């Protein structure tokens, strides 16, 4: 039985995670920590799961490192700078052979992880690739982190294959009409009430288009990934890991 504690337990994601852990026969929910609750509630946990907010997550990380508790992080905001900060916290704590494992997962949706992998695999076979991401109107950042990551993976695959920029005869345009440019791959953001979280990768070549589309329709879509992370984190090397790919056998 893996003993699990959830940070942000009363939030939108945290409450669904608590339910998923309660429903899993091999997991035991031993701590539900909300804002202002003492972190000592996590003392009996094998694994903590953080769905709080960017301003809170590093303090939670420090506690887990100090107490040797493995930590799965879903909270967003882990760009390169923040990952380096997390790495320093782990290195200055109990990291090493006996230190805890910390797994940062930018996207727990298995479908989204596969979409990125498929796009990366397909990228070298097509002259052009563009990404369209579509989200609800309350989203603060554009493009989404997943779209930027997808574009970067496509750009790296294209570069490795020796592909240059795709054909584009545009000479006049309204500002932004061709979208953001992430590593040479254009990314278009749509914001509409009624949408949840969706993404299309369009790959074009002579006479054909390959479209890879993923739709997240409910927070339930994240739970198989969260549970895979909770079950699998104990198999990782101590220290910092990023992404679900390794645990899904995709690395
Ligand atoms: N990685 C993924 O796949 C994924 C998916 C969905 C959401 N997220 C991210 O997860 C985070 C949470 O999202 P949400 O929609 O549940 O937000 P939310 O605001 O509904 O929930 C966050 C909860 O954390 C609590 N909290 C804040 N500080 C805390 C602290 N120090 N200790 C304990 N609890 C604390 C808040 O009171 C709130 O209840 C966000 O950063 C979001 O972007 C990631």
Cβ of 14 below 6 Å from ligand 1: yes
Strand ranges (E), 68-184: 70-73, 101-104, 128-135, 180-182
Q: Which atom of ligand 1 is nearest to the CA of 225?
A: 3
Cβ of 63 below 6 Å from ligand 1: no
Q: What is the pTM of this model?
A: 0.90
Residue 97 has pLDDT above 60, yes or no: no
pLDDT per residue over 187-206, tens digit each?
999 999 999 999 999 999 99
**Please, which residues have CB within 8 angstroms of residue 108's CB and are 6 or more apart in sequence?**
74, 222, 223, 225, 226, 229, 244
Residue 96 has pLDDT above 80, yes or no: no
Q: Span 222-234, mean pLDDT? A: 97
pLDDT at position 209: 98
Residue 95 has pLDDT above 50, yes or no: no
How far does residue 15's CA lie from ligand 1's centre (Å)? Answer: 10
Cβ of 56 below 6 Å from ligand 1: yes
Residue 115 has pLDDT above 50, yes or no: yes
Residue 206 in tokens: 């002579």
pLDDT per residue over 66-93, tens digit each?
999 999 999 988 888 999 999 999 998 7
């Amino acid at each position: 039985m893996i003993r699990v504690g959830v940070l942000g337990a009363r939030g939108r994601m945290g409450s669904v995670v608590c339910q998923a852990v309660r429903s899993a026969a091999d997991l035991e929910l031993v701590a539900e920590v909300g804002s202002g609750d003492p972190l000592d509630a996590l003392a009996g946990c094998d694994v903590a799961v953080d769905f709080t907010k960017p301003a809170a997550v590093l303090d939670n990380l420090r506690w887990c490192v100090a107490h040797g508790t493995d930590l799965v992080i879903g909270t967003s905001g882990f760009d390169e700078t923040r990952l380096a900060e997390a790495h320093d916290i782990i290195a200055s704590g109990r990291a090493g052979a006996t230190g805890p494992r910390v797994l940062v997962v930018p996207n727990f949706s298995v479908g989204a992880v596969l979409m990125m992998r498929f796009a990366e695999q397909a990228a070298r076979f097509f002259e052009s690739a563009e990404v369209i991401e579509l989200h609800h109107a309350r989203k603060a950042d554009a493009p989404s982190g997943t779209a930027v990551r997808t574009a970067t993976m496509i750009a790296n695959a294209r570069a490795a294959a020796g592909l240059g920029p795709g054909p584009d005869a545009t000479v006049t345009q309204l500002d932004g009409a061709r979208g953001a440019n992430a590593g040479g791959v254009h990314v278009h953001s749509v914001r509409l009430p009624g949408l949840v979280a969706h993404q299309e990768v369009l790959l074009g070549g002579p006479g054909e288009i390959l479209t890879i589309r993923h739709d997240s329709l409910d927070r339930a879509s994240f739970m198989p990934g969260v549970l895979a992370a909770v079950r699998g984190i104990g198999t990782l090397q101590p220290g910092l890991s990023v992404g679900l790919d390794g645990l899904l056998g995709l690395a």
